[in-house]
Amino acid sequence: MQALRRCPNFCRLYSTQPPLPELARVARTKSAPLAVRLRRRKQFGALPEGKSDATEAGLTPTEQARYTRLNAQGALPKGQTEEKWLKNLNSRRSRIRGFIRKKQAGNITETEVLGRRIYLPNILLKLVRNNTPPGQPYNPYEATFRIPQSVKKTDVRSLLQAVYGVKVTYIRTDNYISPWYRTVNGYERRSYKTYKRAVVGLVDPFYYPHRLEDMPADKRKSREEWLEKHFSIQHTRNLQKEELLRLTKGQGRMSWKFNAPYATKKSHIIRLVAERRAKREERVKDFVGGMRELREEGETIEYAKLKAKVLKTPIPPPETASPPTSPSVE
């Protein structure tokens, strides 16, 4: 892992560029499919972190097994070493998948796209960031697109080459289906959550802009200021919040109002709580003082006397029972 972090550009260096440096071999081992890594781990054991499973000649375990099998069958020229066999193998791998080179008259070589060419297409290819696990470097030799479900691999390859001039080495696609959501009329899927993903291998690296979370503090601040200046993202969010509050405010007696300044701010709420607590403690302090004064005067502590002394309110006169009246006789 530390080796990959020191040299993130070697996250995907193909065998079309021999000889591979040690960091490129480590990256090739880390980028192998999961099933291949599990099979090799079961067969050869777990590798130490930051190490490659390649041989000294640069062969992967699969290539090493293939070379040993062909050599045992006598299918290789006599005395051909692993280095020469790998060099011949890489020469055949140098072609870009999905394209073929044809020689015309006069020794003119032309490149033909295997599949259907697309010019001025009416489909949308949305470029998104690659799925990078936490703690691992970003892979610049892969690009991820969200495409319609009707688009095939040959369509993506032809479009990238014909329209954008992007050379592709491989394409992997998978479909994401929206889950069922309960509605009034039953269950339905949401179309905007159903899409197709295409992971494209690139010959030339493409460095996606850094996320704001990955930037240093000074660059992140300047980036946010630039985005706010040109796109007004935070200003738009504030307008949306204000409009939502206006719609939920209500009308007439059921409406509510702001308490200045900005009652919904956390600082204002804390200040209101502190003021109410101070008033309550002051009132308790006054009642305690009134009780002490009544004890010093030798009077009994009653709520009416205590309230009159603290709140300066007169004591109500005691209620006297009126004599019963006899009914009049006419």
pLDDT exceeds 90 at position 277 = yes
- Between residues 151 and 211, the one the model is more confident about: 151
Q: How confident is the model over 81-94, as pLDDT tens digits?
A: 888 888 887 766 55
- Coil, helix or strand for 107? coil
- Joined together, the tokens standing for residue 179 give 């889950």
Count of CB atoms situated within 10 Å of the CB of 237: 10
- Cis? peptide before 19, omega within 30° of 0: yes
| Type of residue numbered 88 | N
Q: Which residues contact 300 (CB under 8 A, 6 or more apart)?
A: 294
- Mean pLDDT lowest for which of 90-94, 110-114, 115-119, 241-245? 115-119
Contact criterion met (CB below 8 Å) for 267 and 248: no
Q: How confident is the model over 176-202, as pLDDT tens digits?
A: 999 999 988 889 988 888 889 999 888
Q: How confident is the model over 285-300, as pLDDT tens digits?
A: 888 888 888 888 888 8
| Type of residue numbered 80 | Q
Q: Where does the pLDDT of residue 262 fall: very low under 50, low under 70, confident under 90, or very high at 90 and above?
A: low
Query: What's the pTM value of the predicted model, to 2 decimals?
Result: 0.42
pLDDT exceeds 50 at position 329 = no
- Between residues 46 and 89, the one the model is more confident about: 46
The pLDDT assigned to 257 comes to 64
Q: Where does the pLDDT of residue 125 fall: very low under 50, low under 70, confident under 90, or very high at 90 and above?
A: confident
C-alpha 91: how far from its chain's center? 40
What number of CA atoms fall less than 13 Å from residue 26's CA on the CB side? Answer: 20
Alpha-carbon distance of 312 to 318, in angstroms, equals 18
pLDDT exceeds 50 at position 97 = yes
**Backbone Cα Rg of the chain:** 39
Contact criterion met (CB below 8 Å) for 277 and 269: no
State what percent of residues in the chain have pLDDT above 90.
Answer: 13
What number of helices (H) and strands (E) belong to the chain? 10, 8
- Between residues 284 and 107, the one the model is more confident about: 284
- Give whole-number Cα distances, 141 to 124, 146, 233, in Å: 22, 17, 31
Beta bridge partners of 72: none
